[in-house]
């Protein structure tokens, strides 16, 4: 999961395996969530989003799951590739379009 | 189509110096944002602009000013840089489904 500490939590995954990255959000009134990918030296890049009236959404090789009961969001990456190595963080959007970003999880793909 | 372009990519300032970070977008975004990213913390909003000619403070506005002269450009100014402003700065435009971010400006204040 994400951390407020100085060091990002790191998930190491073998190439070809599935990755699951978790995010705990804080505001039960948030109604829209986004996962971003940030490669080293680059800006965050939109991956996938989900609205609070859904519990699952699939994209190409990625799936986002939303559990509103425990305020938990996860990003699943199928058949992880070296190009997936990056920091992943979630964003929650609540009232007045207030956006809160998580601190991120570093995904390392082992060739 | 470059999306959101930030300049410069790197900058070193001495304490007390001033500088302007430039941001331009070619995606016709109405809303634009300036964030800073520090180790162990999520992106924090400095200022935003909901439309041309309007600006509002975000979570951490102290020590910064912004200018939205036209729809394309949204600049961030540090009038008197402090070491606490050492950070990576990102400009973003609201694409309606999340943000489009620039590639960032890494600023070091010594």
| pLDDT-derived band at A4, boundaries 50, 70, 90 | very low
Report the pLDDT value the prediction gives residue B39, as an integer from 0 to 100: 87
Work out the percent of chain B whose per-residue pLDDT is above 70: 98
pLDDT at A6 over 80: no
Chain A positions in Cβ-Cβ contact with residue B103 (cut-off 8 Å): 41-43
| pLDDT-derived band at A102, boundaries 50, 70, 90 | very high
Q: Using a CB–CB cutoff of 8 Å, tell me whether A27 touches chain B.
A: no
* Mean pLDDT value across chain A: 91
- CA distance linking residue A61 with residue B77, whole number of Å: 40
Burial-class residue A56 by CB neighbours within 10 Å (0-12, 13-18, 19+): exposed
Q: Using a CB–CB cutoff of 8 Å, tell me whether A44 touches chain B.
A: yes
Average pLDDT over residues B51-72: 95
| pLDDT-derived band at B45, boundaries 50, 70, 90 | very high
Tokens of B96: 């309606």
* Mean pLDDT value across chain B: 95
Report the pLDDT value the prediction gives residue B95, as an integer from 0 to 100: 85
Read off the pLDDT of residues A74-85 as tens digits, 9 standing for 90 and up.
Answer: 999 999 999 999
Report the pLDDT value the prediction gives residue A7, as an integer from 0 to 100: 65
Q: What angle do CA B90, A42, A37 make, to 5 degrees?
A: 95
| Cβ atoms B100, B92 nearer than 8 A | yes
Question: Of B40, B47, B82, B77, whose CA–CA distance to B61 is shortest?
Answer: B47
| pLDDT-derived band at B1, boundaries 50, 70, 90 | low
8 Å CB contact of A4 and B43: no
User: How close A99 gets to chain B, by Cα (Å)?
Assistant: 9
Report the pLDDT value the prediction gives residue A94, as an integer from 0 to 100: 84
Residue A79 — left, alpha, or beta (φ > 0 → left; ψ -120 to 50 → alpha)? left
8 Å CB contact of A36 and B45: no
Would you say the C-alpha torsion B83, B94, A59, A67 has a positive or negative sign? positive
Q: Using a CB–CB cutoff of 8 Å, tell me whether A20 touches chain B.
A: no
pLDDT at A40 over 60: yes
Average pLDDT over residues A8-36: 93
């Amino acid at each position: 999961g994400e951390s407020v500490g100085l060091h990002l939590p790191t998930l190491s995954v073998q190439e070809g395996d599935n990755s699951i990255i978790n995010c705990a959000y804080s505001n039960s009134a948030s109604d829209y969530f986004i996962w971003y990918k940030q490669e080293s030296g680059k800006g965050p890049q939109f991956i996938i989003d989900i609205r609070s009236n859904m519990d699952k959404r699939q994209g190409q090789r990625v799936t986002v799951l939303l559990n509103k009961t425990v305020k938990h969001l996860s990003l699943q990456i199928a058949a992880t590739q070296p190009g997936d190595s990056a920091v992943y963080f979630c964003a929650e959007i609540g009232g007045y379009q207030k956006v809160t970003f998580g601190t991120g999880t570093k995904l390392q793909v082992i060739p | 189509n470059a999306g959101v372009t930030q300049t410069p990519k790197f900058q070193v300032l001495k304490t007390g110096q001033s500088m302007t970070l430039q941001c331009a977008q070619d995606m016709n975004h109405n809303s634009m944002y300036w964030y800073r990213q520090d180790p162990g913390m999520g992106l924090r909003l400095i200022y935003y602009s909901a439309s041309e000619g309007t600006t509002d403070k975000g979570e951490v506005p102290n020590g910064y000013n912004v200018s939205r002269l036209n729809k394309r450009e949204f600049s961030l100014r540090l009038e008197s840089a402090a070491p606490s402003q050492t950070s990576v700065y990102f400009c973003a435009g609201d694409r309606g489904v999340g943000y489009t971010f620039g590639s960032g400006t890494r600023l070091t204040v010594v």
